[in-house]
Amino acid sequence: MKLNKTELSWILYDVANSAFILIVTATIPIYFRSLASDAGVADHTISAWFGGATSTAVIILAFLSPILGAIADYKGMKKKMFLGFLGVGILGALTMTIMQDWLAFLFLFVLARIGYSACNIFYDSMLVDVAEDDRMDMLSSLGYAYGYIGSTIPFIIGIVIIFTKPLGISTTMATQISFVITVIWWALLSVPLLKNVKQKYYLPPIENVVKTSFTRVFKTLAKIRQDKRMFYFIVGYFFYIDGVYTIISMATTYGGEVGIESTLMIVALLLTQIIAFPFAILAGMLAKKYGPIRLIKIYILIYIFIAIFGFQLDKAWEFWFLAVMVALAQGGVQSLSRSYFGKIVPKNESNEYFGFFDIFGKFADFFGPLILTAAALIFQSSRYGILALIILFIIGYWMVDKVHKIDIENAR
């Protein structure tokens, strides 16, 4: 698939922000665990605090997402709002790197997550501005694919610095430098999108944008409810992406809790990014032949297996095995969910609809870590939280299957 400048610029932002989310998944939980342990916080309590912080960031954005999306639908607003939240995310992440107090670190982590997540509302909705429907599956898959492989560049540089500690610097300082490198990468690779991607679909500018946007949110909710295909899909997405995001965000925290050595976890997660690259591209190719919904159902089944296997995980090789299994499904389920939704929404209101897409995803990202947090506090272990994710995947599969049946009926 030959890419034009606009499509390439859009993909590069996936490379940019994936670097940040990789350290959120891999090194930030380990660094936070070290900070909190030095302050005398118990292991299971650390998992609870980190899960709670992730949930806090998510629920704040979940409430704001539809309003932000509705405002961004008006001419000239999308990139302005994207740039504003990009600044919030980068400032929060940079400030976070110098904090030694574990609570202050956690607060700034929440701020950085809010900026990162808000940017994704506008970025995801830009898919309709840069690609026609017949190119969306492949372009969305390429975004995730190059995001996976590209994000490993600053990550590997950071890991080398942490392991070698050049000029006699401490492990703490080496980790902080690795964070700074990632944030700079995030900022620099955002420039092509800001420069080259234009808002192709929009609503004409009006007065009282914020007030009108609140009104539109309730009208859009009613439209989603009346459209069975969209309603079933977005509800199903809520459940299955809950499990996906929880596994992504809590992998190293859970691995640390069950005794997996930090270095092995980091290398395994790096392997996940590398393996996910070709499989994300493959997802786009297969979607053209078999359709995105059929593939999403297969990926959900893979995640049910992952949750079952993860319940008994206590060996390094098992963590590596699960990392590979996640790599097979992660890029496909995320990219095809994004592109399928992009095809079924009204183009000139795509931001608002993606705001609801995001709110369902973010409430899911809130609920999953909350399950693990509750399990850590009640059972003194997160294992039963991992097992509970199966229920979410089953419900998600059921709703997506309803969407599949509607698509088959419409095709007749």
pTM of the model as a whole: 0.80
- Please report, in tens digits, the pLDDT of each residue of the chain (412 residues total): 688 899 999 999 999 998 998 888 778 887 888 888 877 777 667 777 887 787 788 778 877 777 787 787 788 788 889 999 999 999 999 998 888 888 889 899 999 999 998 898 889 889 888 988 889 999 999 998 999 899 889 988 988 998 888 888 888 888 889 999 999 999 999 999 999 998 887 777 766 766 676 677 777 778 888 889 999 999 899 889 888 877 766 655 556 665 666 677 777 777 788 888 899 999 999 998 899 999 999 999 999 998 888 777 667 777 778 778 888 888 889 899 989 988 888 777 777 787 777 766 666 566 766 776 676 677 766 667 677 788 889 999 999 999 999 988 887 6
CA 242 – CA 370 distance, rounded (Å)? 11
Beta bridge partners of 203: 74
For 277-332, write each residue's pLDDT tens digit: 899 999 999 998 899 999 999 999 999 998 888 777 667 777 778 778 888 888 88
For 55-81, write each residue's pLDDT tens digit: 788 778 877 777 787 787 788 788 889
When the candidates are 1.20.1250.20, 1.10.600.10, 3.40.50.300, 2.40.40.20, the CATH number that belongs to 5-196+214-411 is: 1.20.1250.20
**Boundaries of every domain in the chain:** 5-196+214-411
